[in-house]
Structure 1
Amino acid sequence: MSTYEKPPSLSLVGEPQAPKAEKLDRPRYAVYEHPCTVESKFHKAGTWYHGLKQSGPDEKAIPIDNWICAPLTVEAETVNSEDGTIGRLLSFSHRGKRIEWVMPMEALAGKGDEVLKVLMGRGLVIEHHQRRQIVPYLASHQSPELVIATTSKPGWHESGAFVLPSRVIGGDNVRFQDSGRAANIFTSKGAISGWQTEIATHCLGNPVLILSVCCALAGPLLAKVGVNGGGVHLVGDSSSGKSLAQLLAASVWGNPGSFAASWDVSKGGVEIEAASRNDTVLILDEIKRADPKRVQEMAYAIANGMGKGTMTREREGRAKLTWRVLALSSGERSLSDHAAIGGSGAHAGAELRMVDVNAGTRTHRAFDDVHGMSGQEFHRTLNDAVSQNYGHVGPAFVESLIQQPEDLHSAFRQVREAFATEGSQAGRVADRFAIMALAGESAIRRNLLNWPKGTAVNACRLLFNEWLSTMGDGSAEDRQILRGIANFIDLHGDSRFSEFRHSGTTTVHNRAGYYEVDDGVRLYLFNKPGLAEAAIGFSLDRIIRALQNVDALAKVDNEKGQKRANKSYFMPGGGKSRFYVIDPAKLEHESAGR
């Protein structure tokens, strides 16, 4: 079996130098970092195979020396932190740049074509006729003493380092591992100073742009503070500036053209997109591209941070994709309005996980201050700027967090006080706006954002209060139930209800109940099926609780000292029936902001 030996590092000074050993034990592989003389023969730098060739059984074996490729070094053994699989850290040079790749050992099980494709694709110079020697060389290499961890997911690693495909921040003994063919979306261009001057400065006075940048910076803080993922959804007409805000957010981490994703994917696709941007930001453009029947399910998945379980051919569970991420979405419609196109009722939980932000009816549509330019000029200026400077602020922010740690829990509690709420559901949304504000203020303190102190908090608080004034501080499920009943009355008030006193003379198809006028107020007497239809998707007990919370049940019965939610009526034709008597005026406060 062939063995591998790496001779001592040789420095080329004048004539090539020879290794100490004049005779080689063959067969073996050797890597020469510099040109050298071996067994009185000149060898150029590279990975060599030193073997023996015998023409016939009686012929004497003669030595052969074949150049396989440029110097290809096995630096360390790797252990994947997610599944424990073993690999090798390979390195070589291409045009003066050091290239690394984590090769899984299972890639050597077959002919090794995938290994060759990756190495050649990354620039390793290979002798074509000797390419089949690379796999035996790697397979025969003894396990290196150095062992490092790898991960296939960007973001925070258990070692404390922050891993990106092209670099590791804050640690030397961990590497990013992928197939070698995935696109690197964490790229950079220009300089951080250019980004600050051309982009950050123009965000001042524009809450939507400030929020978008803060959203991009908040990803690394989620795990540190313990805030759940979720997102904000920029709502506005076409060409209002929503997409530009998303490009600014994407420029924090990479090329906006490739870092930003789209709603035009399956649920499994959005899971992959989220995992590939773990601990950063997920940009999803144009919700109209999403499947209306699946969009709320996708919003849940983004916020919950765990993908769907799958099985191997051996019927064993594969590791699920996981992530922690904030999403920055956009669209001409809200999430619930888009879901309604597919016939799906709004899920209160989905609305809380992807909250609407007004990016269409501000002073200049999505903008509040265009810095003395026209809206079109402002848009063009920023659009040009993000194509020239990107990918610096996010990594610099993480590097600063590692080098200059702070008590993030205490800082978050202080910022959170600016987002006052009473209800627990609105509180979770407030947490999201607060973590974005904290990210922005922390970046300001670290001189990464050239904004005055308080800029991030004020912008995030303004947009949160706008959301709160529209949605209210109460239960999202209550809002959905009350809105459904109010809409049902608006649609069917005179077709599926009739006046109770004249019910015997009026024919109503698919009756939902009756109405009666009490002191000038029309009250609606819902039967049980009608009430369930008006707030479809909720149990009767949950519907009643929502009505009771706003005192919308105008008449109830008292039986044995206990109130019932409905009231008994003697029917004009004889007999008795029970109805839920609803005052529609008590429902109006919920729908006023919609």
Structure 2
Amino acid sequence: MPDNQVSKMIGHPMNQPLSSQLTTACAPYPELSAADRFLHELRRLMPPSYMLVNGTIYCCNRSGKPGIPVCSPLQVSALVRDNNGQGWSRLVQVLTPDRRVIDCVVPHTEVEAKPNDAIARLADCGLQLQGDRYLFLQFLKSWKPTSYALRLPHVGWTPDRTAFALGDGRVIAPVPRGETVIYTGTVDRTTTGRLEDWQSGVATLASGNPYLIFGISLALSGPFLSLTNRTGAIFHLYGENSVGKTKALMVGNTVWPSAGTESPWRTTSAGLEGLLAQANDTFLGLDELPGEPHAGFGDDIYAAANGAGKNRATVTGRAQARQQWRAPVLSTGEAPVRQVLRDLGQSLRGGQAVRMIDIPVMGMTHGVFNDLHGHATSKAFARKIESIAPRSCGHAGANLVRELILSDQDQSIRTTIETLHEIELSKLMMQLGLDPRTARNETLRVLDRFALVAVAGEFASQRQITGWPAGTASEAVMDMAARWFEHSGADKPTEQSSAVERTRDYLLQFGDSRFGILRQRADDPVEAPAARSHEAAGYRDDDYFYMLKPTFDTIHRGQDAKRAAEKLEAAGYLEPGGERNSRQFALSGVRKQRIRVYRIRAEILSA
């Protein structure tokens, strides 16, 4: 369906199309078909000087009789805007030749500046022009609808968190709002079966299988990211081929309306951004991370978790709006991300390690499976999952969102989620024997992400969505977190992480006050540090800190500074400048001098 068309909605009342939400005059005629109700309503609301005769709208002559034919049946049911009060459009309902009612959003800018584009948009939805185009535009503008609607161009939450759009075109809004919400994004997902089918099928087979429970719980965590102002993360299941990793991804995909197939990792950065944007506030599964991905894979990890794409331009050179998202991602592959990056000639940076989290597939009786639920072999069990997964998709996520909205009528849901999160995080810390006062920052950040997954699974279970007993999701997440913790070396302070932490902590404290700002042009003056000159630590721009050697030696006092520079380079945060036998960088243009500094990537601040 083109993205200018609007599909069915879940609103108030439930499961009614947009036309029935905006108009109610046809309610006394339940025996009429949808097309006949539309025509009845059209006759009632038709602007003056127009009439509907034998399926064609006419402009009336002076005697009030049909004159010049205009078009096939059409009505403007609402005026639509975006959340910023811009993007005004008309919501036009068209009766197609096969007597279906299609909703089409037509921007005002097209009607006023590019009328042929507006007509083409409507024609694509089934409109048939019967006469002069100018006469048709007059008719279109003559409608004065009194209903207003908010246009939501992306999957996920509305800004006020009172409605949620799904990729199958539905909008979930169980609580009456001041205005209708319509989804105008791409409709490329489908919902199948019933929630009860999903509970007795996919959710039941997941019981007793921590990897499958984790996959479902991770998919359920999508709406919680925005509610708690958190960013997403990539959880990467790695292990040998044919152990069932894709099945964990497959059951996760059943939580939300399905695209029909699992998305492969083999894509460009721009392609990945599109997948992530379409998974906003829901879930994305990426299958089979190749051993040699494209060179920008390391940057893709940051982008996927940080929730924003690159700045790009149109063919005319104008800047495109950056795609944005918050989405949890489940990834599969044969090798851990550290090894994949090493094969690309790159090192795993601390910031990447907390955004793409390696979970080894091992220790189960049958690959990722522990309980085969009566099937003779893991292969037979996997085939069962493959057969039932496509039959019941999209209901668990939709019901979860409905429960979240209904639970937030007193504006308390965020407090509830954070309280549950603290409980789950405490459980993880206790299980791993960690003290929050001494645990490494990277470890705490990863466990924070695991805890939110547990919250999502437990919340859904409490609301009778999964059918699992209380504690099921929490225990599965603990299992996954323990596997990550054991195999990541997170429990072992390393020389590299120590060098990164000391440098990061100094820059967080003094990055603004002791580093002068380098101007964009070489002949521009340098803005001096605000602190006294004897405290000046170096210079900075948008991408790097240029740290003076005395500052670097002070930070790593008591350690081998040369060794610390080596470890920072290995972590991907220090970039040498080609100086022989040195990891320093020659910075030119500073007070007409070339000074040697340590060039440190600004990304270290989020390490």
TM-score (norm 2): 0.67
Name the SS of the counterpart of 1:257 in structure 2. coil
What amino acid is aligned across from residue 89 of structure 1 in structure 2? L
1:354 aligns with 2:371: no
Looking at structure 2, the residues matched to 153 and 378 of structure 1 have their Cα atoms a distance apart, in angstroms, of 36
- The 3 A distance-change label for structure 1 pair 188 and 93 is farther
Deviation by residue 1:111-146 (Cα, 9 ceiling, x = unmatched): 555545544544x3x335549469615652355333
By how many angstroms is 1:340 displaced?
A: 2.5
Looking at structure 2, the residues matched to 97 and 409 of structure 1 have their Cα atoms a distance apart, in angstroms, of 46
Looking at structure 2, the residues matched to 533 and 402 of structure 1 have their Cα atoms a distance apart, in angstroms, of 46
Looking at structure 2, the residues matched to 332 and 413 of structure 1 have their Cα atoms a distance apart, in angstroms, of 33
What amino acid is aligned across from residue 334 of structure 2 in structure 1? E
Q: Which stretch has the larger CA shift, 86-95 or 342-351? A: 86-95
Name the SS of the counterpart of 1:184 in structure 2. coil
1:326 aligns with 2:332: no
1:218 aligns with 2:221: yes
By how many angstroms is 1:285 displaced?
A: 1.5
- The 3 A distance-change label for structure 1 pair 275 and 101 is same
Looking at structure 2, the residues matched to 296 and 348 of structure 1 have their Cα atoms a distance apart, in angstroms, of 12
Looking at structure 1, the residues matched to 42 and 330 of structure 2 have their Cα atoms a distance apart, in angstroms, of 50
What amino acid is aligned across from residue 150 of structure 2 in structure 1? A
Looking at structure 1, the residues matched to 103 and 221 of structure 2 have their Cα atoms a distance apart, in angstroms, of 30
Partner of 2:188: 184
What amino acid is aligned across from residue 308 of structure 2 in structure 1? M
Q: For the aligned residues, what is the CA RMSD?
A: 4.0
Name the SS of the counterpart of 1:427 in structure 2. helix
* Max Rg structure: 1
- The 3 A distance-change label for structure 1 pair 388 and 539 is closer
For structure 2, the residue ranges without an aligned partner over 5 or more in a row are 1-23, 31-39, 500-559, 577-607
Q: Is the 8 A contact 1:223 1:324 kept in 2?
A: yes
Deviation by residue 1:482-519 (Cα, 9 ceiling, x = unmatched): 9xxxxxxxxxxxxxxxxxxxxxxxxxxxxxxxxxxxxx
Partner of 2:155: 154
Partner of 1:454: 471
1:197 aligns with 2:200: yes
The share of aligned pairs that are identical, in percent, is 25
Q: Is the 8 A contact 1:433 1:460 kept in 2?
A: yes
Q: Is the 8 A contact 1:232 1:354 kept in 2?
A: yes
Q: Residue 181 of structure 2 is aligned with which of 167, 175, 178? A: 175
Partner of 1:309: 311
Partner of 1:500: none
After the TM superposition, which residues 86-165 of structure 1 pair with which residues of structure 2 at under 5 Å, given as runs?
A: 86-92=88-94, 98-109=101-112, 112=115, 114-116=117-119, 118-122=121-125, 124=126, 126-127=127-128, 129-130=130-131, 132=133, 136-137=137-138, 139-159=140-160, 160-165=162-167
For structure 1, the residue ranges without an aligned partner over 5 or more in a row are 1-7, 14-29, 53-59, 483-524, 542-594
Aligned residues: 462
Partner of 2:9: none
By how many angstroms is 1:256 displaced?
A: 4.9
Partner of 2:422: 413
Looking at structure 1, the residues matched to 107 and 572 of structure 2 have their Cα atoms a distance apart, in angstroms, of 48
What amino acid is aligned across from residue 346 of structure 1 in structure 2? L
Looking at structure 1, the residues matched to 83 and 489 of structure 2 have their Cα atoms a distance apart, in angstroms, of 44
Looking at structure 2, the residues matched to 48 and 478 of structure 1 have their Cα atoms a distance apart, in angstroms, of 81
Partner of 1:436: 453
Query: RCO higher in 1 or 2 (8 Å CA, sep ≥ 6)?
Result: 2
TM-score (norm 1): 0.68
Partner of 1:275: 277
By how many angstroms is 1:425 displaced?
A: 1.0
By how many angstroms is 1:468 displaced?
A: 0.7
Looking at structure 1, the residues matched to 240 and 146 of structure 2 have their Cα atoms a distance apart, in angstroms, of 60
- The 3 A distance-change label for structure 1 pair 104 and 465 is same
What amino acid is aligned across from residue 156 of structure 2 in structure 1? G
Name the SS of the counterpart of 2:188 in structure 1. coil
What amino acid is aligned across from residue 535 of structure 1 in structure 2? A
Deviation by residue 1:342-392 (Cα, 9 ceiling, x = unmatched): 222222321221111223553211212212211111011111101211111
Q: Residue 241 of structure 1 is aligned with which of 221, 241, 244? A: 244
What amino acid is aligned across from residue 326 of structure 2 in structure 1? R
By how many angstroms is 1:429 displaced?
A: 0.9
Name the SS of the counterpart of 2:468 in structure 1. coil
- The 3 A distance-change label for structure 1 pair 211 and 532 is closer
Name the SS of the counterpart of 1:265 in structure 2. coil
Deviation by residue 1:392-428 (Cα, 9 ceiling, x = unmatched): 1101110111123442221222222111042221111
Looking at structure 2, the residues matched to 391 and 212 of structure 1 have their Cα atoms a distance apart, in angstroms, of 15
Name the SS of the counterpart of 1:447 in structure 2. coil
After the TM superposition, which residues 474-485 of structure 1 pair with which residues of structure 2 at under 5 Å, given as runs?
A: 478=495
Q: Is the 8 A contact 2:80 2:89 kept in 1?
A: yes
What amino acid is aligned across from residue 430 of structure 1 in structure 2? L
Q: Residue 340 of structure 2 is aligned with which of 316, 338, 341? A: 338
Q: Is the 8 A contact 1:441 1:455 kept in 2?
A: yes
1:44 aligns with 2:54: yes
What amino acid is aligned across from residue 287 of structure 1 in structure 2? L
By how many angstroms is 1:31 displaced?
A: 8.1
Q: Is the 8 A contact 1:217 1:252 kept in 2?
A: yes
- The 3 A distance-change label for structure 1 pair 286 and 476 is farther
Q: Is the 8 A contact 2:361 2:367 kept in 1?
A: yes
1:535 aligns with 2:570: yes
Looking at structure 2, the residues matched to 272 and 247 of structure 1 have their Cα atoms a distance apart, in angstroms, of 20
What amino acid is aligned across from residue 415 of structure 1 in structure 2? E
By how many angstroms is 1:329 displaced?
A: 1.0
- The 3 A distance-change label for structure 1 pair 82 and 369 is farther
- The 3 A distance-change label for structure 1 pair 329 and 82 is farther
What amino acid is aligned across from residue 99 of structure 1 in structure 2? I
Q: Is the 8 A contact 2:496 2:568 kept in 1?
A: no
Looking at structure 2, the residues matched to 146 and 398 of structure 1 have their Cα atoms a distance apart, in angstroms, of 26
